[in-house]
Structure 1
Amino acid sequence: MRESSASKSLQMPDVRSLQLMQEHIITGEWQRRHLDAMVDDTRTRALLAGLLSCSTHLLEQQQQQQWSNSHDERQLTQKKQSMRNMLCLCSSVCPDETEAWTVCVRKAAKAIRDQEPVSPESCEAYRVRLERCTQRQTSLLLRAALVPPDRDGLML
């Protein structure tokens, strides 16, 4: 019971939609008009700025990683980069939910490390809230990029 409770407490949020959005920005799959539409929309301007900042940081980290010596060192560095990027992305679009989840996970990890009982109220609720928030924000970004402003209020 302790192991399953602990693993649930430390489960990573599923933010694939946000990561895919970032990947499409990095690889240039978005046309200029889509990016301009996200910048022009007051609801998404700050979200896009956060995504761009995280993307720049990720690319810088990947360039530095090319100089890593061993295969094991590169794998460890990639895991750290992935975690940092995930936290950066989440913080850029859902700062409050990310902070709440991070605080909970740190407390749960400390309890596990100190061999204390893990609270039955795991971090799952915080993780789910964070996942839903990132999905809402990604949806908002996509809507701004793909739906013309004069049709934004229409249900399709």
Structure 2
Amino acid sequence: MIRIRTVVIGLAVGTLALSACGGEGPAEGDRGQTAAEWVACSTTMVVGDVASVSPSARHKGRISVTVEATEWLKPVRGERRITLDVVDPGATDTPRQVKPGQHLLIAVPERDSLEPGVFRGDQLRLERARIKKALPASETTKCPYPWASSSS
């Protein structure tokens, strides 16, 4: 009985927390931000197919990812093919490794020392919906510390 009560109380607290932030709680890859903050703190959010991945020519621990864009989320329009220089998410979490041929959503953070959000499959669909819902609020949301770039 005590276990069930603890679970019910935990669910109620979680529901209240989401309600307090307008139902727009943290997104999966956002490190504790609201969805609007996550979108505001991202320079690029694009869905597409990975054409190539190589070590970055600029910095160790980064990769150069070329994506054939199928849908732009932020900005709303962009090139059909884009190359992004990002922190390698696979360096710290092998399942997050970006590989040619993958269909994914990649969210590039404003602060270039942070890993991008990388989403595939069902997670891609969920995060795309969350991003689209948060886009209007993100336009008036300032990217807070510690996610803002040091030049902001």
Q: Which TM bucket (shorter chain)?
A: under 0.3
As a proportion of its length, which structure holds more strand?
Answer: 2
Q: Which has the higher contact order (CA 8 A, sep 6+)?
A: 1
TM-score normalised to structure 1 length? 0.21
Larger Rg, first or second structure (1 or 2):
1
As a proportion of its length, which structure holds more helix?
Answer: 1
